[in-house]
């Protein structure tokens, strides 16, 4: 089996993982949250991802919730360390 054939199953697995992690309803209702500003470019990209990949089953709020949840799970320890460093007294 060559390298190209070996990478195909990995790509399929990554695609499945992405769909499971980010392209599903979360149950979060937008009106219960807070408004935030995102650049027009990001809004356009995010809206296209939600519309095309979400197949009408998720909202922009669902997608952003999933992305942020993943970010906090992935980098939570680093965030806690940086936060703790900032809380140390100067003297």
Q: Is residue 75 part of a domain?
A: yes
Domain count, the chain: 1
Note the pLDDT of residue 90: 74
Q: Is residue 21 part of a domain?
A: yes
Q: Is 39 helix (H, G, I), strand (E, B) or coil?
A: coil
Q: Is residue 17 part of a domain?
A: yes
Q: Is residue 76 part of a domain?
A: yes
Residue 19's domain comprises 3-86
- Could you tell me the pTM of the whole model? 0.76
For 27-65, what is each residue's pLDDT tens digit?
A: 888 777 788 899 999 999 999 999 999 999 999 999 999
> How far is Cα 78 from Cα 18, in angstroms, rounded to an integer?
23
Alpha-carbon 38 to chain mean position: 15
> How far is Cα 81 from Cα 38, in angstroms, rounded to an integer?
27
Q: Is residue 42 part of a domain?
A: yes
- Residue 82: CB atoms within 10 A of its CB come to 11
Q: Is residue 91 part of a domain?
A: no
């Amino acid at each position: 089996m060559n390298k190209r054939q070996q990478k195909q199953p990995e790509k399929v697995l990554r695609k499945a993982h992405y769909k499971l992690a980010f392209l599903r309803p979360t149950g979060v209702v937008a009106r219960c949250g807070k408004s935030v500003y995102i650049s027009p470019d990001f809004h356009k990209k995010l809206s296209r991802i939600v519309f095309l990949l979400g197949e009408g089953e998720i909202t922009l709020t669902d997608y952003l919730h999933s992305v942020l949840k993943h970010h906090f799970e992935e980098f939570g320890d680093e965030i806690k360390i940086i936060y703790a460093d900032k809380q140390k007294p100067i003297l």
